[in-house]
Amino acid sequence: MNALRTLLASLAASTAITASAQEGWLVAGQQGLVRFVIVPAAQASDASAYQREIARLCEPERTCFLNFYTNGSGATVAVPLPDAIAAEATATFRRSMKNGAERFRWSCRMKMAQAECF
């Protein structure tokens, strides 16, 4: 019985939405290489908070693609993202080891001072 509980707990943990304990950021899921991260509304425009999450989620010297969103409507988090969440993009982070490039971009809806947004 204990072995079954352990197995079920391990399966649940591997498929559950994961959260950054200190700040409430949620990794909603992944499609291909891209992970979808739900940002607490209070930190949506805090560049240093994004850098902490990028450091937590992306291994150094490894390709890493993150899309960040808020969830102001309180929609149920699932992948693919519900339209209500998909409409609240805040930023993207791309690190391609193949191309030797790294890029963080704000969503234009965030109105952050930046030469280029999406």
Average pLDDT, the chain: 84
Q: What percent of the chain has pLDDT over 90?
A: 71
Element containing residue 8 per DSSP (H, E):
helix 2-15
Strand segments, DSSP code E, in the chain are 18-19, 26-31, 34-38, 64-69, 89-96, 101-106
For residue 23, name the pLDDT band (cuts at 50, 70, 90).
low
φ/ψ (deg, to 5) at 85: -80, -45
Residue 19 has pLDDT above 60, yes or no: no
What is the per-residue pLDDT for 3? 41
Amino acid in the structure at residue 93: F
CB 86 within 8 A of CB 118: no
